Homo-oligomer: A and B are copies of this chain.
């Protein structure tokens, strides 16, 4: 049976990604070690390198999964709502996901390619998918906007919300208090929506 080997391989791969995700969530990217993942999965250190090119590769796989999880947790934003309701729900859903999966979510932004180059295309595609969730509602809000300009506006919108969530959650310096975050997001979205009607 040829398929059995492949099945085992695939299971190993999933286990490694799962263990890596758990480790990243536990201690953040900076405390992430190949040896820990191997120990968690119960395989030899070298085994990781028979499945992934290097540690960076493994981290990218984890990030891809995180993006998919994020997408799933934002999905129930249907068309029937007003743009304001929908955009508020998306912003707050993003904040909730970030808070619940803090270190994995951070890894999305902390991780830099070893050569300093851009992320691989397949990862960028995940991002675009998520941005399209926003575009729908922003288009309703500002009917004149379409194509390139709409995509750009969605990016700006995401970036602003991300900034608010990000500064709030890494309490390092000027963090917003946690309990106020949801409130601030609602006010913020309300302001931008109110100011967009032209």
What residues make up the interface of A, taking CB atoms closer than 8 Å to B? 30, 112, 118-119, 123-124, 127-128, 131, 152-153, 155-156, 158-164, 166-168, 171-177, 180, 184, 187-188, 190-196
Contact = CB atoms under 8 A, between A and B. Distances in A.
A159 B188 CA distance: 11
A158 B112 CA distance: 25
The quantity of this chain's copies bound in the complex is 2
Contacts of A177: 152
Contact of A159 (B123, B128, B155, B164): B164
Contact of A191 (B131, B162, B184, B196): B196
Contacts of A119: 172-173
A194 to B, nearest CB: 3
A71 B17 CA distance: 44
Contact of A164 (B30, B156, B171, B188): B156
Given A163-B166, A192-B195, 10 more contacts: A118-B171, A127-B174, A131-B174, A152-B176, A153-B187, A156-B164, A159-B163, A159-B166, A160-B163, A191-B195
Which has the most chain B C-beta neighbours within 10 Å: A168, A172, A176?
A172
Given A30-B112, A192-B192, A195-B195, A164 B173 contact: no
B167 A159 contact: yes
Contacts of A128: 174
